[in-house]
Amino acid sequence: MSAVIPVGMGEMKIARSPEQLVVYGIGSCVILSLYDPKSKAGGLAHIMLPDSSGLDLKSINLVKFADTAIPVLYDALTGSGAFKSSVVAKIVGGSEMFPPTEDFENNIGRDNTEAVKKALKKLGLPLIAEDTGGRRGRSIEFDLERGTIKLSILGEEVREI
Amino acid sequence: MQDVTDLTKTQLDALREIGNIGSGNAASALAQFLNRKIDMAVPSASIMNFNEIPALVGGPEKTVMGIFLKVMGEISGRFLLLIPEKTSLKLLHTLIPGCEIDSALKMGELESSCMREVGNILAGAFLNALSVITQTPMLNSLPSMTYDMAGAMIDSIVADMTAISDKVLMIETSFIESEEDLRIHIFLLPDPASLQLLLQKIGVC
């Protein structure tokens, strides 16, 4: 049995096959996965918010924010021996768990997803798959051997991207 | 704005006390509504790391009924009820004549509306008591409900409260109907921006 490493809110983890990275109960957060198929190394960042602008970057957790998490994860992954030119991205999450009512609307999930896509584009990282939006929570297992993400969603068939 | 990690023990004690009064009022509303005895666990007011919250209800993957309401007024915040499936079904069977559904996933519009009403009544009773103590009107929004993983709901609710700090102030309690072990967890998360006013109103700033 190989190691299964959980990644909590606001955390980032790098792993290598045969290890697996898992995240339980993803709501409006977006999980960014970066993977290098050549070295079979990959990483996940558990992003909570779209934008860190206006905050003091020295005193915040950079992984919480879409704009700052992506460069941090990319540097950590390539620093651990992954090949820069073969790194690809997948994203998962960004749902709106609670349906809007007259008094409130919650767009964090959508904003997170858009912000992550924008930041990927800025770095020129190819986004090859996503499973985002909707109203359901997700749990994932990231298989570092194949670079695939298995999604478990309440009331739905297990699927893979 | 006061950072939640700076709260003193006296301030936390006072917050726990308002949690006690609010949930006492909510528990009697529920007891009346269901016509059965409801016990209340001792409330806590604590500063928690957001990562630790899902563990309070059985872990991030635990599926529960979540009812979310915004607290509106000069003192604002978020109010979340997490109700295990077993309790939800019992509530539905008690409140809707002839209701026999055996899974929360089979809930229709009538059942959903009934659960939202439970949330409305509990939040209303809780906030009513708080309005009286603080002499500040606090209203709840219409409830929004979902049945899903606890972790997914909590991340959606606390995300924007945790931009700077990993900690949130949470007043938490649970109701227990001991005969059948039915539980309801109540969480009140005051907005950091109105914390100062709340403390002032309860005389501990």
DSSP state string for B48-79: EEGGGGGGGGT-TT-EEEEEEEEEESSS-EEE
- CA of residue A12 relative to chain centroid, distance: 9
Nearest to A103 among B50, B70, B105 (CB): B70
For B65-84, the pLDDT digits (tens) are 999 999 998 889 889 999 98
Radius of gyration (Cα) for chain B, nearest Å?
16
Strands B77-84 and B182-190: antiparallel
Please give the positions of A annotated as active site.
Answer: 29
Secondary structure element (H or E) that encloses residue B38, with its range: none
pLDDT at res. B1: 45
Q: What is the DSSP letter of A66?
A: H
Q: Which residues of B touch A68 (CB under 8 A)?
A: none
CB spacing of A137 vs B59 below 8 angstroms: no
Give the three-class secondary structure for A36: strand
Q: From the CA of A59, how many Å to the nearest CA of chain B?
A: 8
A10 touches B at CB < 8 Å: yes
Q: Is A133 on the interface with B (CB under 8 A)?
A: no
CA distances from A71 to A5, A37, B27 (A): 22, 19, 49
Give the pairing type, strands A41-47 and A20-26.
Answer: unpaired
A60: closest chain B residue by CA:
B164
Residue of A30, A48, A156 to mutate, interface with B, max B Cβ within 10 Å: A48
The pLDDT of residue A1 is 52
First to last CA, chain A: 23
Q: Name the residue with tokens 């290890």.
A: A19
Per-residue three-class SS string for B150-162: HHHHHHHHHHHHC
Count Cβ–Cβ pairs < 8 Å, chain A vs chain B: 110
Cα(B140)–Cα(B127) distance, integer angstroms: 8
Contact B77, B126 (CB under 8 A): no
**How far B141 CA lies from chain A's nearest CA (Å)?**
6
Name the residue among B72, B8, B56 with its Cα closest to residue B187: B56
The enclosing H or E element of A33 equals strand A30-36
ipTM: 0.86
Whether the Cβ atoms of residue B137 and residue B19 lie closer than 8 Å to each other: no
Structure tokens that stand for B30 in this block: 């529920």
Mutate to test the interface with A, among B63, B69, B71, B146 (most CBs of A within 10 A): B146
A124 SS3 class? coil
**B59 contacts A101? CB cut-off 8 A:** no
Please tell me the predicted confidence (pLDDT) of residue B42.
Answer: 74
Q: What Rg value do the Cα atoms of chain A yield, rounded?
A: 15
Per-residue pLDDT of chain B (205 residues; tens, 9 = 90+): 457 778 888 888 888 888 888 888 888 888 888 787 878 777 777 778 888 888 888 888 899 999 999 999 888 988 999 998 988 998 898 888 888 899 998 899 999 999 999 999 999 998 998 899 889 899 889 999 999 999 999 888 888 787 777 777 778 777 777 677 778 888 888 888 888 888 888 888 7
Q: Measured between alpha carbons, how far is B194 from A9 in angstroms, rounded to an integer?
A: 25
**SS3 call for B176:** strand
A27 touches chain B (CB under 8 A): yes
Residues A46, A161: Cα–Cα separation, whole Å: 18
Please indicate whether, in this complex, the C-beta atoms of B160 and A29 are within 8 angstroms of each other: no
According to DSSP, residue A49 is labeled: B
Q: Give the closest residue to B40 by CA, choosing from B22, B18, B24.
A: B24
Structure tokens at A113: 């997803």
**What is the enclosing helix (H) or strand (E) of B13?**
helix B9-34
Low-confidence ranges of chain A (pLDDT < 50): none
Quick one: how far is CA B166 from the chain centroid? Answer: 20
Amino acid code (one letter) for B3:
D
Name the burial class of residue A112, with classes exposed (0-12), middle (13-18) and buried (19+) by CB atoms within 10 angstroms of its CB. buried
